[in-house]
Amino acid sequence: MARRHADNRRTAPSDPDMAAALRILRPHLGPALGPLTFSIVAAVAYTLLELAPIWVTLWLVTLTVRAEAAPGDFVAGAVLLAVTIPLCYTLYGLSTEKSHVAAFRMIRSLRLRIAEHLTHLPLGQVTDLSSGASRKLMIDEPEKLELVVAHALPEGVGAVLMWMVVTVWLFATDWLMALATVLLVPVALLAMGLAIRRSVPNMAAFQDANLHMNGVLAEFLRGITAIKVYHRAGPAIARTATAIRDFAQLQSDWGRQFVPLGGTFYALILANITVILPVGLWSLHAGWIDLTEFLLFVILGGNYGAPLMRLFNLFGQMAHISVAVTNIDHVLSSQRQPDTGADLPLRGHEVRFDAVSFGYGEDGDTAALRDVSFTAPGAGMTALIGPSGAGKSTVAALLARFYDPWSGRITIGGQDIAAMGQTQLMETVSFVFQDTFLFRGTIAEALRFARQDASHADLEAAARAARAYDFITALPDGFDTMIGDGSGILSGGERQRLAIARAILKDAPVLVLDEATAFADPDNEAEIQKAISALARGKTVVVVAHRLHTITRADRIIVLDGGRCVAQGRHEELIAQDGLYARMWRDYSATRSARLQTTAPAQEAV
């Protein structure tokens, strides 16, 4: 019943927050501390063990150069490594596993936090999330955050530690040779930096083209039925194909600018043997180092760039993830709806709107309701009428506190609904929803959702009143039939009647319904009408109505137009006023008698 207006409040973040991933995860560190510590300790241990092959190799190399090596030394080295290598990768494995466990715990905690936050957001904001957006919010985005913790830790810690140990070792051995070993790293970083700088102007154009292409693709796919029906494939496909080709072209241009220097980064960072070798030989020649030391640089320095490359890739990933978790960020930063938790004494169940204004946008100028005031008498029926966009559904949504009004007051039985606790409000008001969501379970469980202690006789009585009894008992397992979202056992009309049976069990004194959605299944209209009649008996009813004959007996009809209340009264009074309502009634009557015909002039003007 909440109006759909999904994507209007999402303001694009002006500056991508590269550390957003860390900011979102930080509060959830607690439950992950154990495995996290283990992972880091294991990462340190495996990194040290990774040095064993280097150390053993160097030791044997030294012995060989001194011509002191015996077969026993090689066997000893091999045995040592045969122990350390499996141990090293076992620890690596454990570190990875624990870091993943830590990541999953943080994500679990984050998901629970999002869920907890959602239950305190205005309901309208929650129903605005499409199932796609819900999926992104609850599944995809948290999953992406996994990488940050699960990979950054064992790999990042290992890479940093390895880089530090090797650097210290190199410089402790010979500073000139050490400089020769690391020389290419700043050069490589410089190349990458320049490459990024050079391609930045194009990067923006590139991202625009990417967005443009995805937009055109989405548009093409959205219109594909129309395109096919009107076989306008030519122009539509030409536009889409152009977007695809343009994007490929821009990618190429961007690539051409980036590759000469950016591609160099990856080659340079692995190429330091080509510097170590000549500098080493010249140093040997000058007598600054001996052969053993030279060999140390060859072995140790040859792989110097590898941990740095790993770190570079990790940083890239993290920035990438940070800009991709916008849904979580958006939801977690949304204002909660205050809940007093109070249970206030009500004087009857009269509903009053007192100068209520409200709009869906955050800016003050797009009001959906302006200064709407009316009273819906207790235990009476009030109908909301008006052209589309008049604000009828908004009134219903506000009454259920899907949103809170910008200004004005809504009261039930004299109490402001914002001062009532959510629980009390929900016990007081029933709605017949747009889309009847049924959790998986049996029909009896679905009905008991409304009243846990309901006896089987209560269920049967409610089902009978809601005209649901016959189809339920016709099912193989009757009230014990398993139903659930997407099970396809129940038709739309049947689900609707189940929802009504549930509302009957709940027996709240105020009932809000939207005719457009309550009667979404025209083939079962009569059945649903009977169910609604049973539900409405003795209640304060507020109904959004389109089929005017259904509300001719309403105690009060509120006529809305452009967000304002333009008239109110009983059917006969409003007809007599000859305003908007009278015009709608004439249109309605004309429509009811209209006939489609292919042969004769259809009908005379009314």
Chain residues 224-243 in contact with other proteins, contact rule CB under 8 A: 224-233, 237, 240-241
Q: What angle do CA 314, 315, 316 make, to 5 degrees?
A: 90
Please report, as residue ranges, which positions from 26 to 45 form the binding site for other proteins (by CB under 8 A): none
Segment near other proteins (CB under 8 A); pick from 167-175, 412-420, 462-470, 548-556: 548-556
- Report in angstroms how near the CB of residue 347 gets to other proteins at its nearest: 18
- Our CA angle for 259, 261, 266, nearest 5°, is 85
Total binding residues for other proteins by CB under 8 A?
A: 198
In angstroms, give the least distance from the CB of 74 to other proteins: 4
Q: Which is nearer to other proteins, 16 or 278 (CB)?
A: 278
Asked whether position 519 contacts other proteins by CB under 8 A, the answer is yes
User: Closest separation between CB of residue 525 and other proteins, Å?
Assistant: 4
Mapping DSSP onto H, E and C, the string for 261-316 reads: HHHHHHHHCCCCHHHHHHHHHHHHHHCCCCHHHHHHHHHHHCCCHHHHHHHHHHHH
Cβ closest to other proteins, residue 33 vs residue 248: 248
- 442-471 positions binding other proteins, by CB under 8 A: 449-450
Contacts of 226 (CB under 8 A, 6+ apart): 232
Q: Judged by CB, which is closer to other proteins: 233, or 355?
A: 233
CB of 537 to other proteins, least distance (A): 7
556-561 vs 367-376, strand pairing mode: unpaired
The secondary element (H helix, E strand) that includes residue 429 is strand 429-432
Query: Whats the size of the chain, residue-wise?
Result: 606
Residue in 28, 151, 467, 497 binding other proteins, rule: CB under 8 A = 151
Residues between 266 and 285 with contacts to other proteins, criterion CB under 8 A: 266-268, 270-271, 273-278, 281-282, 284-285
Q: Quote the least distance from Cβ 242 to other proteins, whole Å.
A: 11
According to DSSP H, which parts of 123-223 are helical?
123-127, 131-135, 141-173, 175-182, 184-222
> Which of 84, 411 has the CB closer to other proteins?
84
Residue with tokens 């904001």: 125
| Residue 149 binds other proteins (CB under 8 A) | no
CB of 179 to other proteins, least distance (A): 16
Q: For residues 152-171, which are near other proteins according to CB under 8 A?
A: 155
Pick the binder of other proteins from 28, 370, 495, 502 (CB under 8 A). Answer: 502
Nearer to other proteins, 179 or 355 (CB): 179
Which of positions 193-222 make contact with other proteins (CB under 8 A)?
A: 210, 213-215, 217-222
Exactly one of 333, 474, 476, 595 binds other proteins (CB under 8 A); that residue is 595
Burial 108-120 (b: 16+ CB within 10 A, else e): ebbbeebeeebee
21 to 16, 136, 322: CA distances (angstroms) = 11, 15, 5
Q: Copy the structure tokens of residue 268.
A: 């340079």
- Give the C-alpha separation, 298 to 510, whole Å: 83
CB of 256 to other proteins, least distance (A): 7
Touching other proteins, residues 117-136 (CB under 8 A):
118-119, 123, 126-127, 129, 131-132, 134-135
Query: What are the tokens at 405?
Result: 């009004």
Stretch that binds other proteins, among 364-372, 405-413, 464-472, 546-554 (CB under 8 A): 546-554
Written in H, E and C, the secondary structure of 572-588 is HHHHHHCCHHHHHHHHH
Which residue stretch of 36-44, 90-98, 352-360, 562-570 sits at the interface with other proteins (rule: CB under 8 A)?
A: 90-98
Rounded Cα gap, residues 515 and 529, in angstroms: 10
Which positions from 561 through 590 interact with other proteins, judged by CB under 8 A?
583-585, 587-588, 590
Shortest reach from residue 302's CB to other proteins, in Å: 6
Pick from 22, 29, 45, 97 the residue near other proteins by CB under 8 A.
97
Q: Which residues contact 451 (CB under 8 A, 6 or more apart)?
A: 458, 505, 506, 507
Among 476, 467, 589, 573, which residue's Cα sits nearest to residue 530?
Answer: 467
Subset of residues 48 to 87 that bind other proteins, contact rule: CB under 8 A: 53-54, 56-57, 60-61, 64-65, 67, 69-75, 77-82, 85-86
Bridge-partner residues for 482, per DSSP?
442
**Which residues fall within 8 angstroms of residue 545, CB to CB, at 6 or more apart?**
383, 384, 385, 515, 551
Angle at 111 between CA 362 and CA 137, to 5 degrees: 45
Tell me 554's DSSP state. -
Stretches 260-268, 319-327, 360-368, 471-479: which one binds other proteins (CB under 8 A)?
A: 260-268
Among the residue ranges 15-23, 104-112, 159-167, 192-200, the one whose residues contact other proteins (CB under 8 A): 104-112
Q: Which distant-in-sequence residues (6+ apart) come within 8 Å of 260 by Cβ?
A: 195
* Cα–Cα distances in angstroms (integers) from residue 512 to residues 436, 508, 517, 593, in the given order: 15, 10, 12, 30
* Interface pick for other proteins out of 24, 137, 209, 396 (rule CB under 8 A): 137
Tokens of 39: 């992972």
Q: Which stretch binds other proteins (CB under 8 A): 22-30, 105-113, 160-168, 194-202?
A: 105-113
Name which position in 255, 562, 569, 579 contacts other proteins (CB under 8 A). Answer: 255
Closest separation in Å from C-beta 355 to other proteins? 25
Which amino acid type is present at position 157? Answer: V
If binding is defined by CB under 8 A, does position 373 make contact with other proteins? no
Contact 142, 328 (CB under 8 A): yes
Hey, how many other C-beta atoms are within 10 angstroms of the C-beta on 482? 13
**238 or 355: CB nearest other proteins:** 238
Which CB atom, from 355 or from 592, has the smaller least distance to other proteins? 592
Given 117, 409, 464, 546, the residue binding other proteins (CB under 8 A) = 546
For residue 538, give every residue at least 6 positions away whose Cβ sits within 8 Å of its Cβ, in sequence order, or none.
379
Instruction: Select from 9-17, 108-116, 365-373, 464-472 the region that touches other proteins (CB under 8 A).
Output: 108-116
Q: Which stretch binds other proteins (CB under 8 A): 291-299, 316-324, 350-358, 409-417?
A: 291-299
Give the whole-angstrom CA distance, residue 391 versus residue 605: 30
Provide the minimum distance between the beta carbon of 34 and other proteins in the complex, in angstroms, as a whole number: 14
